[in-house]
Amino acid sequence: MAKQYETVIGLEVHVELATKTKIFCGCSTAFGGAPNTHTCPVCTGMPGSLPVLNKQVVNYAMAVGLATNCTITQYCKFDRKNYFYPDNPQNYQISQLYLPICRNGYVDIETSEGKKSVGIHEIHMEEDAGKLIHDEWEDCSLVDYNRSGVPLIEIVSEPDMRSAEEVIAYLEKLRMIVQYLGVSDCKLNEGSMRADVNLSVREVGAETFGTRTEMKNLNSFRAITHAIAGERERQIELLETGQQVTQETRRWDDTKEYSYAMRSKEDAQDYRYFPDPDLVPVYISDAWLQQVRDNQPEFREEKMARYKKEFDIPEYDIGIITDSKHLADLFEETVAICGQPKKVSNWLMGETLRLLKEKNMDPEDICFSPQNLARLIGLVDSKAVNSTVAKEIFEVMFAEDIDPEKYVEEKGLKTVNDEGALRKIIEEVIAANPQSVEDYRGGKQKAIGFLVGQTMKAMKGKADPGMVNKVLKELL
Amino acid sequence: MDILAYSAVELSAAIKAGKVTAVEAMEAVFARIDEKESTVNAYVTIDREQAFKTATITQEKIEKGELTGMLAGVPVAIKDNLCTEGIRTTCSSKILENFVPTFSAEAVLNLEKAGAVMIGKTNMDEFAMGSTTETSAYGVTRNPWNTDHVPGGSSGGSAAAVAAGECFFALGSDTGGSIRQPASFCGVVGLKPTYGTVSRYGLVAYGSSLDQIGPLTKNVADCAAVLEAIASHDTKDSTSVERKDTDFTTALIDDVKGMKIGIPRDYFGEGLDSEVKDAVFAAAKTLAAKGAVVEEFDLSLVEYAIPTYYTIAAAEASSNLERFDGIKYGYRAASYKGLHDMYKKTRSEGFGAEVKRRIMLGSFVLSSGYYDAYYLKALKVKAMIKKAFDEAFAKYDLILGPVAPTTAPKIGESLSDPLKMYLGDIYTISVNLAGLPGISLPCGIDTKGLPIGLQLIADSFQEKRLIQAAYTYEQTYSKEMR
């Protein structure tokens, strides 16, 4: 019988923190500036410049640590990781090796196999590098230091995961935590969240781990899933044919769906880590720690439980709404204005999700305000607009966050509630459609639908369907 | 009166009194530079035009009463490892031969605010690595007392410029004695402040945890005035300390009555030149005669200072100097194939032998498998050395000893035996390891006609004690010498 193999996976996840300024200087972290415009002597490694720690980075790292049940290292230090590469202006990266800010945490995940805990080995703070751009035409490389010094945290898990499904559940969980904390945008495809996968295989029941490889360049959940499957297969094949797995770093090519070796352990660099003498140790007082603890937000699980108690909406809806902090905030703020959780939920679950999917957007990209959504709900409630018109208005609101009340006024979309005018139109519709009238009178109840439709068309949609039905039945 | 005979503080007073102008002072300095510089070679870069332009503006400001400080109008020389905006800063290395900083060091800005006028940048051992100023890529600096001899190092250019009258005072940097030892060799006053007193922002780092900027001056009063001007709390330097006691000139008091001074026996052992020993003991007797309580004691761990220092300083230097890679600024090899070849050739051609030696040493002690045995152990010894000083300062206000085992050696004698050269740092480096302030001041001249230096060491933040004792000693010494 063929041997059964188990996959053992640990993750190193880099999260770019959403601070306004860089970790060791006052330069902006904003995306999209012209090359080397968000730079200064510190983040370009000019001689004589010195780093000064941005305290907000420590706050954010601590918040993530507390949310992942870590122990906070109240006396922590920064170390230099030395390696030569042009994207790294000092030729050393300021990171944490010996005393990382968070250690020994865990997060709970849930998959089709059930619930489980994934250990967090450590979380450390470090700086991002610049970006190298190769100019094929001029045959030279250019470097942009705008990203140099952007703060990162690296979350290192224990080798506790056994499948791609667990890996995705773990990443989703981290993303949720980070998003709820508001410490990062956490977008895999934009690089604000990056995952390296450490993977080994062993025979089921084995006590020790096999030799692992590290895979880099995984920028989507899809890539991660495929890379895990591919690497598992590659390693098993090596073992089955009597070969050995080499400890090495491999780069995943998502278009070719193949990974290739970048460097092996033999030519692994010696980073010569040592404490950075330019930075003083970070001492986190009990008061500081407590302050961060007190400022922790309500996380998803607590939010779901509260919604269940407070709002009469389906559990499924609660799950979807709380899946995004932004959506949940939008929900709560709108409910606070209009007091109608069910209706707010319907707009979010229905039209909002439909448009997000259609436009391939994330909930974080929603631009309309809770005030405007509440106004739209008010317009429908007061029968100022009917539901069809409301959906049209919503679509405009979704795109540009317009004020629906003003919009209705400007475009003349108010429902006509003048029964006299309606009666006149309906009389014309009846006159123009004798066949349908006859069918209805002959007992075909469905025929009235056609007549309602014709009336709405003649009214350009601005009629209350209830009133149309009522008047139609009277006249027929 | 001969303008060059003024001390820095005296010159500024004379300018403010209208007896002489800042421009005349600059003219006197340049007359001396024209006369001496071709032999002494104290400077790497001199900006004559800018110096006179600034002197003219400064004179106007003094006349308008906008500049009233103790150093207003005084020509100053700056060690070439301190960044100066718009003026090239080479660290006496080929690798920075064309490097022009975009900003000035905080200490330089503080001097500008005080109204001092920069003449140029002084020669040094390459990246401050050396004890003779012979490792400079821009030629050796000669000792003005005897031009066959070295001026000491690494701030040899600064010390020689002060001694030769090519400036009124200078800034240096001290990682293991680089201010105090050349001050001693050139017969001037040099002070290394408590770590964190002067901002390191803009000082091209050698050993970051040990580096401090400090003054080289003609006398103790100037030394106090310059320290007062450059000491500042700087939020750009995480290791900068906020001090409220930087009015150092208030310590210029001729009185050491009751001051307790300890002489470490360990500083007077084998290797110490007898003439130096006699001069230093004579100085101790002078202070005792002025009322100080002087006694000998055993300062432990002295023999561990050198290996500890060369481990830590080299480790930090190996990392600090990584940024000089030919990518962003400075020298780049003319021909190369690909990135790694460019790195290799640039650094092989750009750095001198002593710098390479320390980069290799530092890389070795930090490498995997050796970190614990060397670097970490050195940090532990460093902490123990600090503790030994703490114990000494529980008993004494000051520690007194020599600055260096000998007076200035001849040019060419030192570099062939680097280990011997390293041993010459024995009395100065533990002060850096413990982060303490130390001052070097003249206490005699040997039979070769070369100056001998006296070193006083105080506990952290006790510069005022140093200055008071040095000032008191200087009063007697100056009288004897004149």
Same domain, residue pair A112 and A244: yes
Token pair belonging to A303? 């939010």
**Last residue in a domain, options A237, A255, A288:** A288
Q: Which domain holds residue A112?
A: 5-288
**A140 within some domain:** yes
Cross-chain residue pair B201–A46, CB shorter than 8 Å: no
Same domain, residue pair A303 and A343: yes
Token pair belonging to B235? 């939020």
Residues of B identified as active-site: 79, 154, 178
**Last residue in a domain, options A377, A394, A411:** A411
Chain A residue numbers with beta carbons less than 8 Å from the beta carbon of B89 are 47-48
**A454 within some domain:** yes
Helix axes B48-63, B8-16, angle to 10 degrees: 50
Give the pLDDT score at B384: 97
**A67 within some domain:** yes
- Which CATH number is A464's domain given? 1.10.10.410
Token pair belonging to A48? 């004589």
- Beta strands A282-283 and A274-275 are unpaired
Same domain, residue pair A191 and A61: yes
Using alpha carbons only, what angle is made at residue B396 by residues B395 and B402, rounded to the nearest 5 degrees? Answer: 135
Cα A1–chain centre separation: 44
Same domain, residue pair A138 and A283: yes
Over residues A107-128, the mean pLDDT reads 96
Query: Looking at the partner chain, which of A45, A274, A278 has a beta carbon nearest the beta carbon of B328?
Result: A45
Give the pLDDT score at A476: 76
Q: What is the pLDDT of residues A37-58, one digit of tens each?
A: 999 999 999 999 999 999 999 9
Same domain, residue pair A207 and A347: no
Token pair belonging to B464? 């005022």
Buried-exposed string A17-31: b where 16+ CB fall within 10 A, e elsewhere: bbbebbbbbebebee
Give the pLDDT score at A165: 96
Rounded Cα gap, residues B103 and B83, in angstroms: 7
Q: Are A261 and A248 a contacting pair, CB within 8 Å?
A: yes
Rounded Cα gap, residues B146 and B148, in angstroms: 5
- Provide the shortest C-alpha distance from residue A83 to chain B (in Å): 9
Q: Are A276 and A95 a contacting pair, CB within 8 Å?
A: no
Give the pLDDT score at A267: 65
Quickly count: other Cβ atoms within 10 Å of residue A134's Cβ.
10
Cross-chain residue pair A50–B343, CB shorter than 8 Å: no
Rounded Cα gap, residues B219 and B256, in angstroms: 18
Say how many Å lie between the first and final Cα of chain A, rounded: 79
Rounded Cα gap, residues B262 and B399, in angstroms: 5
**HSE-up of B293 (CA within 13 Å, CB side)?**
7
Cross-chain residue pair A274–B375, CB shorter than 8 Å: yes
Q: In chain A, how many domains are there?
A: 3
Same domain, residue pair A404 and A423: no
Cross-chain residue pair A279–B209, CB shorter than 8 Å: no
φ, ψ for residue B152 (rounded to 5)? Answer: 85, 180
Rounded Cα gap, residues A84 and B412, in angstroms: 35
From the CA atom positions of chain B, what is the Rg in Å? Answer: 21
User: What SS3 class is residue A42?
Assistant: coil
In sequence order, the 6+-apart residues with CB closer than 8 A to the CB of B366 are A82, A272, A273, A274, B315, B318, B319, B375
Chain B residue numbers with beta carbons less than 8 Å from the beta carbon of A92 are 319, 322
Same domain, residue pair A128 and A168: yes
Give the pLDDT score at B482: 37
Quickly count: other Cβ atoms within 10 Å of residue A402's Cβ.
18
The ranges of chain B with pLDDT < 50 are: 481-482
φ, ψ for residue B339 (rounded to 5)? Answer: -65, -50
Cross-chain residue pair B105–A48, CB shorter than 8 Å: yes
Tell how many helices (H) and how many strands (E) occur in chain A.
16, 16
Same domain, residue pair A127 and A229: yes
Give the pLDDT score at A465: 77
The 3-state secondary structure of B104-165, one letter per residue: CCHHHHHHHHHCCEEEEEECCCHHHCCCCCCCCCCCCCCCCCCCCECCCCCCHHHHHHHHHC
Tell how many helices (H) and how many strands (E) occur in chain B.
15, 11
**A342 within some domain:** yes
Rounded Cα gap, residues B458 and B193, in angstroms: 10
Chain A residue numbers with beta carbons less than 8 Å from the beta carbon of B202 are 48-49
Give the pLDDT score at B236: 98
Instruction: Give the residue on B whose Cα is nearest the Cα of A83.
Output: B322
Same domain, residue pair A377 and A357: yes
- Beta strands A71-72 and A102-111 are antiparallel
Going by the DSSP 8-state scheme, the letter that residue B371 receives in this structure is I
Give the pLDDT score at A276: 98
Token pair belonging to A245? 């797995």
Over residues A156-177, the mean pLDDT reads 96
Q: Where are the extended beta strands (E) located within A128-192?
A: 131-135, 140-144, 151-157
Q: What is the pLDDT of residues B190-244, one digit of tens each?
A: 999 999 999 999 999 999 999 999 999 999 999 999 999 999 999 999 999 999 9
Is A473 exposed, middle or buried (CB count within 10 Å of its CB: 0-12, 13-18, 19+)? Answer: exposed
> What Å distances lie between residue B71 and A397, B43, B319, CA to CA?
68, 21, 37
Instruction: Give the residue on A whose Cα is nearest the Cα of B329.
Output: A46
**A293 within some domain:** no
Q: What is the pLDDT of residues A264-309, one digit of tens each?
A: 666 678 999 999 999 999 999 999 999 999 999 999 999 999 999 9
Same domain, residue pair A438 and A389: no
Q: Are A374 and A394 a contacting pair, CB within 8 Å?
A: no
**Last residue in a domain, options A240, A261, A288:** A288
Give the pLDDT score at B9: 98
- Provide the shortest C-alpha distance from residue B198 to chain A (in Å): 14
Query: pLDDT-based confidence at A434, cuts 50/70/90?
Result: confident
Same domain, residue pair A281 and A304: no
Q: What is the pLDDT of residues A201-249, one digit of tens each?
A: 999 999 999 999 999 888 888 999 999 999 999 999 999 999 999 999 9
In sequence order, the 6+-apart residues with CB closer than 8 A to the CB of A346 are none
Chain A residue numbers with beta carbons less than 8 Å from the beta carbon of B173 are none
Cα A452–chain centre separation: 44
Cross-chain residue pair B96–A82, CB shorter than 8 Å: no
> What Å distances lie between residue A411 and A386, A414, B248, CA to CA?
15, 9, 78
**A439 within some domain:** yes
Q: Which domains does chain B have, with CATH numbers?
A: 3-258+400-481 (3.90.1300.10)
**A464 within some domain:** yes
Write the DSSP assignment of A374-434 as a string of letters. HHHHHHHHTTSS-HHHHHHHHHHHHHH---HHHHHHHHT---B--HHHHHHHHHHHHHH-H
Answer whether A89 touches B (CB < 8 Å).
yes
Percent of chain A with pLDDT over 90: 69
Note whether ipTM > 0.90 here.
yes
Same domain, residue pair A154 and A50: yes
Tell whether the model's pLDDT for residue A186 goes beyond 90. no
Q: Are A300 and A108 a contacting pair, CB within 8 Å?
A: no
| Mean of per-residue pLDDT scores for chain A | 91
